[in-house]
Amino acid sequence: MKQIYSFVVIISLLAILSSCRTGGGGELTGVPQKNFRAEVPYGMVYIPGGSFLMGQTDQDVTFSQIAQTKQVTVGPFFMDQTEITNSQYKQFVFWVRDSIAITNYLNDQKYYLKPSKGAGNSGKKYINWAYVSKYPVWSAKKGTSANGSKLDGMYYQGDDRVFDRNEIDVRLLKYTYAQMSLRDAADYHLDKTKRRSDFILRDTVPVYPDTLVWLSDFSYAANEPMVQGYFSHPAFRNYPVVGVTWRQARAFTMWRTRLNESYKYAHRLPPRLPYGLPNEAEFEYAARGGRIGTDYPWGGPYIKNAKGCLLANFKPGRGNYTDDGGAYTVNVKSYFPNDFGLYNMAGNVAEWTSSAFDESASTFVSDIAPTFQREAKANDPEVLKRKVVKGGSWKDVGYFLQNSTRTYEYQDTAKSYIGFRCVTHFLGRDIKDKR
pLDDT in tens, 200-256: 999 999 999 999 999 999 999 999 999 999 999 999 999 999 999 999 999 999 999
Q: Could you tell me if residue 392 is inside a domain? A: yes
Q: Is residue 305 part of a domain?
A: yes
Where b means 16+ CB within 10 Å and e means fewer, 119-131 reads eeeeeeeeebbee
Q: What's the CA gap between 308 and 159, in Å, rounded?
A: 54
354, 279 contact by CB (below 8 A): yes
- Rounded Cα distance between 238 and 230, Å, is 11
Residue 262 in any domain: the answer is no
Q: What is the dihedral of CA 30, 36, 41, 47, to 10 degrees?
A: 80
Q: What is the pLDDT of residue 81?
A: 98
What average pLDDT does this structure show over 365-386?
93
Work out the pLDDT band at 433, boundaries 50, 70, 90: low
For residues 93, 96, 98 and 99, what is the CA-based torsion angle, rounded to 10 degrees? Answer: 170
Distances from the Cα of 397 to the Cα of 38, 51, 219, angstroms? 40, 29, 19
More confident residue, 186 or 10: 186
Q: Is the dihedral of CA 356, 358, 361, 365 positive or negative?
A: negative
Q: Say which range, 34-48, 58-72, 217-231, 355-369, has the weakest mean pLDDT.
A: 58-72
From CA 153, how far away is CA 149, in angstroms rounded?
9
Distance CA 86, CA 227 (A): 13
Does any domain span residue 246?
Answer: yes
Q: Say if residue 61's pLDDT is above 90.
A: no
Domain-located, residue 309: yes
Q: How many domains does the chain divide into?
A: 1
Task: Please list the residues that pair with 175 across neighbouring strands.
Answer: 205
- Give whole-number Cα distances, 72 to 176, 207, 263, 368, 393, in Å: 35, 35, 36, 6, 26
Q: What is the CATH number of the domain that holds 282?
A: 3.90.1580.10
The answer to whether 265 and 253 are in contact (CB under 8 A) is: no
Domain assignment present for residue 142? The answer is no
Percent of the chain beyond pLDDT 70?
A: 86
pLDDT for residue 20 is more than 50: no
Phi, psi angles (nearest 5°) of residue 362: -65, -20
pLDDT 10s digits, 281-321: 999 999 999 998 899 999 978 899 888 899 999 999 888 99
Q: Taking phi first (over 0 means left), then psi (-120 to 50 degrees means alpha), and beta for anything else, what does residue 97 get?
A: alpha
CA angle 134, 40, 404 (to 5 degrees): 120
Is residue 67's pLDDT more than 70?
no
Under the banding of pLDDT at 50, 70 and 90, the label for residue 5 is: very low
Amino acid at 260: N
Asked whether the beta carbons of 79 and 44 are under 8 A apart, the reply is yes
| pLDDT given at position 311 | 94
Least confident of 57-61, 95-99, 337-341: 57-61
The answer, as to whether pTM is greater than 0.75, is yes
* Residue 335 pLDDT exceeds 70: yes
- Residue 2 predicted with pLDDT over 50: no
Whole-number pLDDT of residue 377:
86
Residue 372 counted as domain residue: yes
Q: Which domain holds residue 279?
A: 53-82+241-253+267-435
| Average pLDDT of the residues of the chain | 88
Distance of CA 146 to the CA centre of its chain: 36
What is the rounded CA–CA span in Å between residue 424 and residue 59?
33
The mean per-residue pLDDT over the stretch 357-364 comes to: 90
- In this predicted structure, the answer to whether residue 22 has a pLDDT above a threshold of 90 is no
**Assigned domain for 163 exists:** no
Q: Of the ranges 9-13, 104-108, 331-335, which is most confident?
A: 331-335
Tell me: pLDDT of 9 over 60: no
pLDDT for 19 equals 47
Nearest one of 47, 65, 46 to 56, comparing CA atoms: 65
